[in-house]
Homo-oligomer: A and B are copies of this chain.
Amino acid sequence: MFDGKFTDASLLKKLVEAIKDSVKLCNFNVNESGLNVQAIDDSRVLLISLLVEPECFHEYRCDRSIVLGLDLESFNKILKQGNNDDYLTLTAEDEPDNLMVVFEDKKKERISEFSLKLMDIDSDVLNIDEMDHDCVITMPSSEFSKIVRDMKTLSESLNIVVTKDSVKFNADGQIGTGSVILKSFTDMENPNESIRIALEKPVDLSFGAKYLNDIAKAATLSSTVSLKLTDKAPALFEFKLPSGHLRYYLAPKFDDEE
């Protein structure tokens, strides 16, 4: 039996909002280490790895591992019905047919209760190797989001070039070209506004703007995002949760498809 209660619904609402455009169906795995999702986006390019540790919950209980096969669009319909600051409780039996979703207003004047039918979903078993990266950039997620959104209007492909003290985003399209250079800097007053670059080796990689755009939808989950880049290897875009993370893995484009 699984029973998890969030102090407020906003975290889960944002999580599902962030990934529902990439993945229609996926398994939420709950066990003693928390809520875990491993999924590949519908175009089989973007890999999503979510971990919501028990500390994110106000109360968390999960005796044994349970798989919740969810249609995220349906799940989102239900989640949208709760207010951000409602209590949110998820419950499922050991062999569940349904996921129970309960919102409670903090004044306790309203209780909304839903039962969502679960599905059997083939789960790709994903092995994600932890690896070292040539460089790690940490920047405000809102800034990442704006760059991706803006540059997407110029080109389908976004090139990222990192040097010791700067990261440059380039787009080259029909109507013209554009680049944004961010210099590494530390904002003492608002540390989350800082641009941090930890570089082992300079990188020059290009990514599909569509996928970066899907990734940028997670920007509301954390004030910063880390871009972990390695030459000729999938990049990792990481949003830290209060306890846990939402990670996206995206392979760069090769030279001949840029």
Tell me the A residues contacting B by CB distance below 8 Å. Answer: 71, 74, 77-78, 80-81, 98, 107-117, 146, 150-151, 153-154, 174-183, 185, 195
Contact = CB atoms under 8 A, between A and B. Distances in A.
Contacts of A108: 183
14 contacts: A71-B175, A74-B176, A77-B154, A77-B175, A108-B183, A109-B185, A110-B183, A111-B180, A112-B179, A112-B180, A113-B181, A114-B176, A114-B179, A115-B177
B112 A176 contact: no
Most buried by B among A111, A115, A175: A175
Given A114-B178, A175-B71, A153 B77 contact: yes
Contacts of A109: 182-183, 185, 195
Contacts of A177: 114-115
Contacts of A78: 154, 176, 178
The 4 A-B residue pairs with the shortest CB-CB distance, nearest first, are A74-B175, A116-B176, A81-B150, A114-B178
Nearest to A75: B175
A132 to B, nearest CB: 28
A178 B79 CA distance: 11
B98 A176 contact: yes
Contacts of A112: 178-181
State the number of copies, please.
Answer: 2
Nearest to A175: B74
Nearest to A77: B153
A141 to B, nearest CB: 15
Contacts of A181: 110-113
Contact of A80 (B80, B113, B150, B180): B150
A166 to B, nearest CB: 9
Given A98-B176, A116-B176, A176-B116, A110 B77 contact: no
A74 to B, nearest CB: 4
A75 to B, nearest CB: 9
Contacts of A116: 175-176
Nearest to A183: B109
Contacts of A154: 77-78
Nearest to A108: B183
Contacts of A110: 180-183
Contacts of A113: 178-181
Contacts of A98: 176
Contacts of A179: 112-114
